[in-house]
Amino acid sequence: MSLALALLQAALLVALAPLFSGTIAAIKARLQMRRGAPVWQRYADLARLFRKESILSTDASWLARATPYVVLGASLTVATWVPVLFASSATSFAGDLVMTVALLALVRVLHALAALEAGTTFGGMAASRHMALAALAEPALMLSVFTLAIAAGSTDLARISRAVAAAPHGWLSPSHLLALSAMWLVVISESGRVPVDNPATHLELTMIHEGMVLDYSGRHLALLEWAATVRQMVLFTLVVNLFLPWGIALEPSGAALGTALLAWIGKLLACAIVVALGESLTAKLRLFRVPEFLGMAFLLSLLALTSNSLLRG
């Protein structure tokens, strides 16, 4: 039962991830007074890419062929233990919050290495920026993890979710809200959105994620793009279900799961609107202003942790 639920949650994440991405793009288009592509555009993109031939550089080694599969595999592995509907998972023995962060780092490293395969400038530029910004985001992320783990008494994802859901106004504490804001900034940076990266651009001076997959095509590109949407979905699900686990099912009954599904979709829709608003209202930062942005995330998370230990006395 619990294993079936874990697979169902992972399947939901994987199946709906392109829709989430497409929804953000659609809302953004509306905010900018454009008609924009339909919300299911990403599915059509993936289907088209899967039908196309995959071309690899003559300079690429075996790693370039393996990376898309391992990246998607690692992203799917994380998806099995993220609390989506039900705050417990059959695979939560295998991974906690620290393991999640580390598997996302594995994906990042493989991405950066694959970007260096073709021997072009854009790949190197993107990989270099990606690794630099990730290094700055990591301390803020880790302190947010500390804050959550100390408040909930565990780094297990389902337990954190349960602990926050159990305390009726627990999410209103200053440390929780500060950690949430820090985590939000990190998630914006990690999922490659404005103001850190621009998912809509192919302009070589600004891109990070696009630059890393520039030399991929066909099914390999489809796998990488799909994995990226899954990762974005996982990150936003973590934000909403760890920090604001309203409506999450605490026992596996049909009614509770239904409520949880509605709550989850509603919360993600809210996230999509906030992200789209943010992307429309702010401009992308210059690369060397991004450390200040991530420095702010670090400061917020440090404040979260400090206020946590101060308020607990």
Partner 1 sequence: MPLAGLDGALFAAAIWGLAAAALFPAIPLPSRFAFLSAASRAAIARPVAIAGALALAAVGALGLAGVVPAPLRWWPGLPGDPFMLGVDALAAPFLLLLGLLTAISLAARHPGPEEGPAGLVLHIGFAVALAAVFAAQHALLLLVAWEGMTLLSAALVARDTRSARARRAAYVYLVISHIGAAAIGFGLMRLAALAGSFGFPDLAAALGRLPAGESAALVSLMSAGFAVKLGLAPLHVWLPLAHPEAPAPVSALLSGAMVKAGLYGLLRFGWQMPGSPPAGWGVTLAVIGLFTALVGALYAVVESDAKRLLAFSTVKNAGLLALALGIAATLLRAGYVPLAGVALAACLYHAVGHGLAKGLAFLAVGEAVHAAGSRDLEKLGGLARRMPRLSVAALIASLSLSGLPPLACFAGEWLLFQALILGLAAGGGSMRLLAPFSGAGLALATALSAAALVKLYGIAFLGRPRSAAAANAKPPPRAMEVWLLVLAGLGLAWGLAAPLAIAALALPISAVLGPGFDAASLSGFGGLTLSIPPEAFASISPLAVATLIALFVGLVFAWVALRGLHPGVRRAPSWACGVSLDARMQYSALGFTKPLRLIFRPLIRAESEISILEEGSPYFAQKYRYRSAVPPLAESLVFSPMVQAVFWISTQARRLQAGSLHVYLAYLLVTLVALLMLAR
| Cα→Cα distances 237→44, 171, 242, 267, 302, Å | 24, 16, 8, 9, 23
Cβ 116 vs Cβ 124: under 8 Å: yes
Please select the residue that binds partner 1; options are 32, 121, 253, 282, rule is CB under 8 A.
121
Classify residue 53 by its DSSP letter. Answer: P
Q: In whole angstroms, what is the distance from residue 39 CA to residue 26 CA?
A: 6
- Choice between 170 and 278, CB closer to partner 1: 170
Q: How far is the CB of 142 from partner 1 (least distance, A)?
A: 4
Q: Is 32 in the site for partner 1 (CB under 8 A)?
A: no
Is residue 136 part of the contact set for partner 1 (CB under 8 A)? Answer: yes
List binders of partner 1 among 210-249 (CB under 8 A): 215, 218-219, 223
Site string for partner 1, 173-212 (x = CB under 8 A): ----------------------------------------
Q: Specify the stretch interacting with partner 1 by CB under 8 A; choose among 35-43, 150-158, 257-265, 270-278.
A: 150-158
Q: How far is the CB of 263 from partner 1 (least distance, A)?
A: 25
Interface residue with partner 1 among 124, 170, 252, 278 (CB under 8 A) is 124
- Residue from the set 29, 37, 131, 273 that interacts with partner 1 by CB under 8 A: 131
> Looking at 7, 8, 70, 256, which residue binds partner 1 (CB under 8 A)?
70
Q: Does 89 bind partner 1 (CB under 8 A)?
A: no
The number of CA neighbours under 13 Å toward the Cβ of 139 is 13
Distances (CA, A) of 106 to 40, 72, 121, 195, 270: 29, 11, 23, 24, 29
CA distances (Å), origin 215, targets 100, 117, 220: 28, 9, 10
Cα gap 87→253, rounded to integer Å: 12
Contact status: 156 vs partner 1 (CB under 8 A): yes
Looking at beta carbons only, is 262 or 292 nearer to partner 1? 292
User: HSE on the CB side for 105, CA within 13 Å?
Assistant: 16
Quote the CA–CA distance of 152 and 187 in Å, as a whole number: 21
Contact flag: residue 149 with partner 1 (CB under 8 A): yes
Residues pairing with 86 in the sheet: 249
Choose, by CB under 8 A, the member of 12, 46, 72, 183 that binds partner 1: 72
Q: Give the number of residues in contact with partner 1, rule: CB under 8 A.
A: 85
Indicate whether 287 belongs to the interface with partner 1 (CB under 8 A).
yes
Q: Which residues in the 50-69 window bind partner 1 by CB under 8 A? A: 50-63, 65, 69
Give the number of other Cβ atoms within 10 Å of residue 301's Cβ.
Answer: 28
